[in-house]
């Protein structure tokens, strides 16, 4: 089969299944209440954050111009890493150009064919890809099932093991049993990697910190600078020995240009604002709980409300109806949903005004009510 007919066949199959995705460029100010993004605290547009990004671009230039081990490490990276480590209560931090790279790096640098990775069934795509690249032996355990993690560790005694979890799961929005996972990992000498992409900011310094696990040598954290911190980039936080190992062996760190100055400075300013304004996280909690009650769905652990829809077409239809009402929400469809259930994805962030939030939630209640 030639390439053109292969591409045509794939496009037709997507269309048939209602799974075609299209890019919808937006302007800078399009008058729509945005409840689709991950800018949970509304910091991407915060004046101090924007100012910091602009000043850094003027001072350092638009890019770092090289990988971190060549000339791409700036004193600004050091400042950001120190701030993140201090906030999250960790011995150190290492930043990457995306959260995706941070996840590829931690798994790829620690696991190889001789290692065993135990992964929650709902883990983010970046961690799934990381395990594939590492070629480690893999056990996928049912979601949030500590007994299954226990059994998987017990099945291969003496093998270097890595357990992967998200503190707040991106699709289901529920929380990992972090204290139990950390305990079972400790008992078996395993490392626990917790992706805090949806925990940091929404829960201040994150759920690893909240559970008193920050700084424990067998609990490593990855984070993104691209959600609550409103910028771009990622980080791994943990013991210095692990970070030194990453600097020396993690391919997505070594063979990638250093995080851009504007992104680093914006994330640094955003972390400082987030630390100074715990009320932003309180607003998220109040909004997400209120909307969950209205829509009669469980209140999530994070900022994202996941509303199951009867079909991918119904989800896309509801999303389009809401856009005509001036409200942008997200939509999850296979393959982005581990259980195959299409959902509306609504961010109850602190970045919209109370009036916008009221207007948006009224529209959501009415559109979702019609579909269900």
Ligand X SMILES: Cc1ncc(COP(=O)(O)O)c(C=O)c1O
Could you list the residues that contact ligand X (CB under 6 A)?
98-100, 103, 124, 126, 166, 170, 195, 197, 224, 226, 234
SS3 content of the chain, % helix, strand, coil (to 5): 45, 15, 35
Only one residue has tokens 């409103």, namely 230
The structure tokens listed for 203 are 């829960």
Q: How far is the CB of 264 from ligand X (least distance, A)?
A: 13
Alpha-carbon gap, residue 88 to 82, rounded angstroms? 10
Q: What is the DSSP letter of 205?
A: T
State the nearest-atom distance from the C-beta of 48 to ligand X, in Å.
21
Q: Which is nearer to ligand X, 200 or 213 (CB)?
A: 200
Instruction: Work out how close the CB of 166 gets to ligand X at its nearest, in angstroms, rounded to a whole number.
Output: 5
DSSP state of 256: S
**Chain centre distance of CA 126:** 9
How far apart CA 72 and CA 56 sit, in angstroms, is 14
Shortest Cβ 100–ligand X spacing (Å): 4
Least Å from the CB of residue 336 to ligand X = 10
CB of 202 to ligand X, least distance (A): 12
Is 44 or 170 the residue whose CB approaches ligand X more closely? 170
In the bound complex, what is the minimum distance in angstroms from residue 310's beta carbon to ligand X? Answer: 25
- Using CA atoms, how far apart are residues 278 and 274, in angstroms rounded to an integer? 7
Phi, then psi, of 318 in degrees rounded to 5: -65, -40
* Cα gap 165→144, rounded to integer Å: 8
Nearer to ligand X, 176 or 191 (CB): 176
User: With respect to ligand X, which residue has the nearer C-beta, 200 or 368?
Assistant: 200
Task: Give the dihedral sign, CA 306/310/314/318.
Answer: negative
Query: Which CB sits closer to ligand X, 34 or 166?
Result: 166
Shortest Cβ distance from residue 123 to ligand X (Å)? Answer: 8
User: Smallest distance from the beta carbon of 284 to ligand X, in angstroms?
Assistant: 16
Position of minimal CB gap to ligand X: 99
SS3 295: helix
CB closer to ligand X, 72 vs 234: 234
Nearer to ligand X, 150 or 203 (CB): 203
Residue 145 or 336 having the CB closest to ligand X: 336
Beta strands in the chain (DSSP E): 33-35, 92-96, 116-120, 137-141, 161-166, 191-195, 219-224, 234-238, 304-308, 327-332, 343-347
Q: Please give the full DSSP string across 32-98, using - where no structure is assigned.
A: -EEESSS-TTSGGG-HHHHHHHHHHHHHH-SS--SBTTTT---HHHHHHHHHHHHHHT-SEEEEESS
Residue with token string 């060549």:
70
CA-to-CA dists, residue 108 to 1, 136, 306, angstroms: 35, 9, 31
CA distance 195 to 83: 18
Respond yes or no on whether the N-terminal peptide bond of residue 194 is cis (omega within 30° of 0): no
- Output the smallest distance, CB 190 to ligand X, in A: 20
* Nearer to ligand X (CB atom), residue 118 or residue 363: 118
Nearer to ligand X, 46 or 345 (CB): 345
């Amino acid at each position: 089969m030639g390439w053109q007919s292969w591409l045509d066949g794939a496009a037709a199959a997507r269309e048939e299944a209602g799974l075609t995705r299209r890019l919808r460029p937006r302007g800078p100010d399009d008058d729509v209440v945005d409840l689709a993004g991950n800018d949970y605290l509304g910091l991407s547009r915060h004046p101090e954050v924007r100012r910091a990004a602009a000043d850094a671009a003027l001072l350092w230039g638009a890019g770092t111009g090289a990988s971190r081990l060549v000339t791409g490490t700036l004193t600004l990276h050091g400042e950001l890493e120190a701030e993140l480590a201090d906030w999250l209560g960790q011995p150190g931090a290492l930043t990457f150009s995306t959260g995706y790279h941070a996840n590829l790096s931690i798994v790829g640098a620690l696991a190889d064919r001789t290692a065993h990775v135990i992964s929650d069934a709902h883990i983010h795509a970046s961690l799934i890809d990381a395990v594939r690249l590492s070629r480690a032996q893999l056990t996928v355990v049912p979601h949030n099932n500590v007994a299954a993690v226990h059994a998987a560790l017990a099945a291969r005694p003496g093998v270097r093991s890595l357990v992967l979890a998200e503190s707040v799961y991106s699709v289901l929005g529920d929380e990992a049993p972090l204290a139990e996972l950390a305990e079972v990992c400790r008992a078996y000498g395993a490392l626990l990697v917790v992706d805090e992409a949806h925990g940091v900011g929404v829960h201040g310094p994150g759920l690893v910190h909240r559970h008193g696990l920050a700084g424990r040598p067998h609990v490593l954290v990855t984070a993104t600078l691209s959600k609550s911190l409103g910028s771009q980039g990622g980080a791994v936080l943990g013991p210095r020995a692990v970070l030194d190992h990453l600097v020396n062996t993690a391919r997505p760190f070594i063979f990638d240009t250093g995080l851009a100055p504007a992104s680093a400075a914006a994330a640094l300013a955003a972390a400082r604002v987030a630390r100074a304004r715990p009320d932003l996280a309180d607003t998220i909690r109040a909004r997400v709980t209120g909307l969950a009650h209205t829509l009669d769905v469980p209140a999530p652990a994070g900022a994202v409300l996941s509303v199951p829809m009867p079909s991918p077409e119904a989800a896309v239809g509801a999303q389009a109806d809401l856009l005509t009402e001036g409200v942008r929400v997200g939509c999850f469809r296979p393959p982005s949903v581990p259980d195959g259930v299409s959902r509306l994805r609504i961010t109850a962030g602190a970045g919209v005004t109370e009036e916008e939030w009221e207007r948006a939630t009224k529209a959501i209640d009415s559109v979702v009510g019609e579909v269900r």
